[in-house]
Structure 1
Amino acid sequence: MMMIPFFEMVKYILRYWTLDMAKVLENCCSVCVDMWDVNEGNISKMYEGRSVWIRKVYNDDLSLWCIKLFMDRGLGDGDEIRLYWDPSFSFLVFKLLSQVGS
């Protein structure tokens, strides 16, 4: 699980969602999305919605759940990523910028 502050979530993701998508997150506290890992040096990989979801947590921050991505990339505390919503294709984009210990 990766925590995403509410302000960052609005700035890079929620502002591009339809009102219906945002309502699902608000009412159900969780929404499944498709996500692409677009790191250089490897072939882009898609993680489908049933394995990727965004959940609302108690303080209005959000969490990203994609255990397969976290294991595939060996992600840990201190790793720097870029995460944003692609409004043209309606999916989440993940990019690993730097990894602690590499």
Structure 2
Amino acid sequence: MKKIFFYNFLPSKAEEEACRERNTTWIVTRYLVEIRDIYPAPIIDLQNPWTIKKMITHYETVVRKLVLPFAMAFEHIFRYWTLDTIRLVTSGHRKNINLWDVTEENNPKNYQNEGILVEMLPNGDYALVCVDLF
């Protein structure tokens, strides 16, 4: 199942009247939903799971966060998580995860329970907070 945000651009008649009574403007809302994916999710290779290859920028080195664009996070990470877990992250909370650094392919390093977190950034993208990795 794929997770997406559903945006409510048009108010219902009741919501429209409630806004009129309170003398407020309609605010677009969004909520997370699961949909059937047209294409099946990629099969996870248990020998090499969760592979995301990315060049680290100077900004990421300074802030010690690996920035993941919104689309990448939803396509390669969130589609495998439960809806409740994603709601937790998209509402501003942090989520502990396990991370494998495969920079040296012959000697990968597993960062487990070492402060590796996924968090939402103010611009809507996501970040892996991994101080020890940098």
Matched, 1:8 2:72: yes
Asked whether 1:38 is paired with 2:102, we answer yes
Name stretches of at least 5 consecutive residues in structure 2 with no aligned partner: 1-64
Distance 1:41 1:34, change over 3 A: closer
Q: Considering fraction of residues, name the structure with more strand.
A: 1
**Could you tell me how far apart the structure 2 residues matched to 1:55 and 1:41 are?**
27
What is the aligned residue count? 70
Change in CA separation of 1:56 and 1:42 when aligned onto 2, cut-off 3 Å? same
Corresponding position of 2:82:
18
Let me know the Cα RMSD of the aligned residues. 1.8
In the alignment, what sits opposite 1:59?
A: 123
Deviations 1:56-80 (A, max 9, x none): 011211111111112xxxxxxxxxx
Distance 1:16 1:65 in 2: 19
Q: Distance in 1 between matches of 2:129 and 2:119?
A: 8
Any gaps of 5 or more consecutive residues in structure 1? 71-102
Q: Which amino acid aligns with 1:3?
A: V
TM-score (norm 2): 0.46
Looking at structure 1, the residues matched to 90 and 126 of structure 2 have their Cα atoms a distance apart, in angstroms, of 11
Q: Partner amino acid for 2:74?
A: V
* Structure 1 pair 22–39 and aligned structure 2 pair: CA distance change class (3 A): same
